[in-house]
Amino acid sequence: MAKITGKCWVASDYVMAYDIIIQRFWTSPIDKAENAKWVMAGVAEEFNRENGFVEGGFTFIVAAHNFAGGGKSIEHVVAGLMGAGIQAVFANSFSRLQFRNAINYGLPFITCRDLAKGCQTGDELEWDTESGTVLNLRTGEAFHSVPVAPFVADVAAEGGLMNFIRNKIADGSIHELH
Amino acid sequence: MIPMTITEKIMALNSGRDKVVPGQLVWVDVHSIMTMDYLGEQCFKQFRSLGVNEVFDKERVICVSDHLVPPPNEQFATMLNRWRQIVKEHEIAYFYDLGRQGIAHQIMVEQGHVLPGKVSIGTDSHANTYGAVGAVGNAIGVTDAAVAMATGKCWFRVPESVKFVIKGTWQPYVMAKDLSLHIMGMMHWNGHLIYKTLEFTGEAIEALDMAGRMTLCNMTVDLGAKNGIVAPDAVTQAYLSGVAKGDWEMIASDPDAHYDAVYEVDVTNVGPTVALPDKLDDTVPVEKVVGRKFNKAFVGTCTNGRVEDFAVMAEILEGKQIHRDVNMIVVPASQAVYLEALKRGYLQTLVEAGAAIDTPSCAACAGIHTGVAGDGDIVLSAGNRNMKGRMGSKNAQIYLTSPAVVAASAIRGEITDPRETGTY
Ligand code: SF4
């Protein structure tokens, strides 16, 4: 699976975690499909309805600074984005809490400095997961993102940290975590 | 040996390495893991789904009831019942439930569950508070908690360090909170601090008590940082003696360690500071907003619900009356804080002045219960967050400031400089 192609949604700076999942859902169960229904409800008026964001059919989010920041650690954020079909988020910087959650769930959060400047919402992008190159198919412009770290790739390949750990418990290599 | 910062040393020490470098991903041994009422059940469920039945150490998985207690409705009461059941099933040694409760971060520090030179994690964003004793304290999600409960380990990206050298002398009625808000205003959300460790050093930090250090480290998460830390010293040793659950190491940064940036603040020039509604980094010296009216006052939370905070308030409110247009709610951060503030008479002074005291919990801080904000409310709060809707209604405004400013302002019903109330 070296290349992933799909439509992107371009976000502004400081898309906050507590706007991606609004307060009403902070105590609801973590469930990709359920969390996706109202994901992004607080970010833009057009997403503030059931399946508002999901219906956009986006594969990528292209954000700028401090994506999913604001200090909320709830995992509904990443679960909701995955449930909505998002396969990678590119941004200048991420909040650390959600960066962790994303790695643990196997949703790549990728640092890519200038992509936001060269994309509009709805553009088709092609992401080469190995080289890190992101191609905007509308403009033909290519961008370079930070390649995914080996540990992160391993976790994603096993379907998230839980499976990664389960497999290590099963094969007895859990004590070798270093 | 390459020189390292205190945070790098702690990460190296607890991952069995001689050195680590910023950006490196490492598995670290955690000393303690905290989880609480509204996420705890999910943590244990995830943990069980790993196929493990017993937590790695029953004395080092700490469970607390803080966000939902006492339960304001049936839904939370039922959630709490499930929470109690699951904690019991796992034979957790330290369960701070209603009656012994407190805000988790306060409990972790005051009960000695976090120690210098160790790494502790919690399923709540203000786990940064643990840096006050010279620990690496970090917030993690349910998945990380589940893995750590099973293995005693958590992965980390070693952060870059930024040093804040705090010089000068604290002026009367200027608190650690004012310094936090000052730094917030100075750095803005410009991204310089995102994912960084903030190391606080200098004579003004050495002069700070543990309550002040907790406030300062607590709010580093609101600056977007990974964690905040104060190297352990005599203040730390005195605080931990008799409460520490385990041995610890006094660790300090090497003098020639690398920092991404070094900032200097002279605290002599920092006065009482206020963050304007909705934006944490929109901070001004109190003089700029003196005279603004408000109708609710709130002091409590993991940022400012400690004995030292109530001492300052009691001093200001002694023999005074809170303005009739202001409702003030005061919530001690833990039962231990509550009891101590009672014994010292601070709570009596506050009640006599017309404040309402509530049982330790997060209270209105997260807009869940106990004094939530309604439409049109203007709240003067000593908490840590003021975005729209944080304490309840989206149509309420929240100013953030220190307990001293809240106390002084409550007398007049308008924002007041605490350095002036003596003459009022
Ligand atoms: S007091 Fe407020 S900030 Fe602190 S843990 Fe509770 S809800 Fe979070």
Predicted pLDDT at A65: 83
Predicted pLDDT at A56: 95
* Whole-number Å distance between alpha carbons of B76 and A42: 24
Contact B51 A165 (CB under 8 A): no
* CB proximity A48 to B under 8 Å: no
Task: Select the residue from B42, B105, B125, B303 to test the A interface by mutation, using most A Cβ atoms within 10 A.
Answer: B125
Q: Is the CB of B334 under 6 A from ligand 1?
A: no
A8 membership: H or E segment, kind and range? strand A3-10
Q: Which residues of chain A have pLDDT under 70?
A: 1
Which of B141, B155, B221 is closest, CB to CB, to A101?
B141
Domain, as residue range, for A134: 3-149
Predicted pLDDT at B190: 65
Identify whether A14 is part of a domain: yes
* Whole-number Å distance between alpha carbons of B136 and B147: 18
Identify whether A155 is part of a domain: no
* Whole-number Å distance between alpha carbons of A151 and B189: 30
Identify whether A86 is part of a domain: yes
If one residue of B35, B62, B64, B67 were mutated to test the ligand 1 pocket, choosing by the most ligand atoms within 8 A of its CB, it would be B67
Predicted pLDDT at B424: 44
Task: Tell me the backbone φ, ψ of residue A19, rounded to 5 degrees.
Answer: -95, -30
Domains of chain B with bracketed CATH: 6-265 (3.30.499.10), 274-423 (3.30.499.10)
Identify whether A163 is part of a domain: no
Q: Is the CB of B301 under 6 A from ligand 1?
A: yes
Structure tokens that stand for B10 in this block: 């702690």
Predicted pLDDT at B144: 94
Contact B195 A99 (CB under 8 A): yes
In chain A, the number of structural domains is: 1
Structure tokens that stand for B178 in this block: 């004012």
Sheet arrangement for strand B261-266: B227-229, B197-201, B161-167, B261-266
- C-alpha A105 to ligand 1 mean position (Å): 25
Number of CB atoms found within 10 A of residue A12's CB: 11
β partners of residue B35: B63
If one residue of B105, B106, B123, B126 were mutated to test the ligand 1 pocket, choosing by the most ligand atoms within 8 A of its CB, it would be B126
**Three-state SS sequence of chain B:** CCCCCHHHHHHHHCCCCCCCCCCCEEEEECCEEEEEHHHHHHHHHHHHCCCCCCCCCCCCEEEECCCCCCCCCHHHHHHHHHHHHHHHHCCCCCEECCCCCECHHHHHHHCCCCCCCCEEEECCHHHHHHHHHCCEEEECCHHHHHHHHHHCEEEEECCCEEEEEEECCCCCCCCHHHHHHHHHHHHCCCCCCCCCEEEEECHHHHCCCHHHHHHHHHCCHHHCCCEEECCCCHHHHHHHCCCCCCCCCCCCCCCCCCCCEEEEEEHHHCCCEEECCCCCCCEEEHHHHCCCECCEEEECHHHHCCHHHHHHHHHHHCCCCCCCCCEEEECCCEHHHHHHHHHCCHHHHHHHHCEEECCCCCHHHHCCCCCCECCCCEEEECCCCCCCCCCECCCCEEEECCHHHHHHHHHHCECCCCCCHHHC
* Whole-number Å distance between alpha carbons of B359 and B70: 8
Give the residue numbers in B contacting A (CB under 8 Å), as ranges: 15-16, 25-27, 38, 42, 46, 49-52, 79, 123-125, 139-144, 146-147, 150-151, 153, 155, 157, 189, 191, 194-195, 221-222, 224, 226, 367, 385, 387, 389
Predicted pLDDT at B415: 98
Question: Measured from the CA of B301, which atom of ligand 1 is nearest?
Answer: 1
Per-residue pLDDT of chain B (424 residues; tens, 9 = 90+): 789 999 999 999 999 999 999 888 899 999 999 999 989 999 999 999 999 999 999 999 999 999 999 999 999 999 999 999 999 999 999 999 999 999 999 999 999 999 999 999 999 999 999 999 999 999 998 899 999 999 999 999 899 999 999 999 999 999 999 999 999 999 986 667 888 999 999 999 999 999 999 999 999 998 889 999 999 999 999 999 999 999 998 999 999 999 999 999 999 999 999 999 998 899 999 999 999 999 999 999 999 999 999 999 999 999 999 999 999 999 999 999 999 999 999 999 999 999 999 999 999 998 888 889 999 999 999 999 998 999 999 999 999 999 999 999 999 999 999 998 754 4
Identify whether A20 is part of a domain: yes
Identify whether A162 is part of a domain: no
**Sequence-distant (≥ 6) Cβ neighbours of residue B29 within 8 angstroms:** B14, B15, B16, B119, B152, B153
Question: Measured from the CA of B333, which atom of ligand 1 is nearest?
Answer: 1
> Tokens 């010292």 — which residue?
B344
Contact B387 A16 (CB under 8 A): yes
Interface of A with B in 89-128 (CB under 8 A): 92-97, 99-101, 104-105
The answer to whether A20 and A66 have CB atoms below 8 angstroms apart is: no
Instruction: Collapse the DSSP code of A159 into the 3-class scheme (helix H, G, I; strand E, B; otherwise coil) and give the result.
Output: coil
Q: Is the CB of B369 under 6 A from ligand 1?
A: no
pLDDT tens sequence across A62-105? 998 889 987 777 889 999 999 999 999 999 888 888 988 899 99
- C-alpha B333 to ligand 1 mean position (Å): 10
* CB proximity A16 to B under 8 Å: yes
Predicted pLDDT at B23: 82
Number of CB atoms found within 10 A of residue B156's CB: 26
Q: Is the CB of B331 under 6 A from ligand 1?
A: no
Identify whether A122 is part of a domain: yes
**Sequence-distant (≥ 6) Cβ neighbours of residue B148 within 8 angstroms:** B30, B33, B56, B121, B140, B154
pTM as predicted: 0.89
CATH number for position A59: 3.20.19.10
Which of B42, B226, B367 is closest, CB to CB, to A30?
B42
Task: Tell me the backbone φ, ψ of residue B165, rounded to 5 degrees.
Answer: -95, 115
Per CB-CB distance under 8 Å, the chain B contacts of A178 are: 15-16, 26-27
The answer to whether B283 and B277 have CB atoms below 8 angstroms apart is: no
Task: Tell me the backbone φ, ψ of residue B30, rounded to 5 degrees.
Answer: -100, 140
Structure tokens that stand for A14 in this block: 């400081």
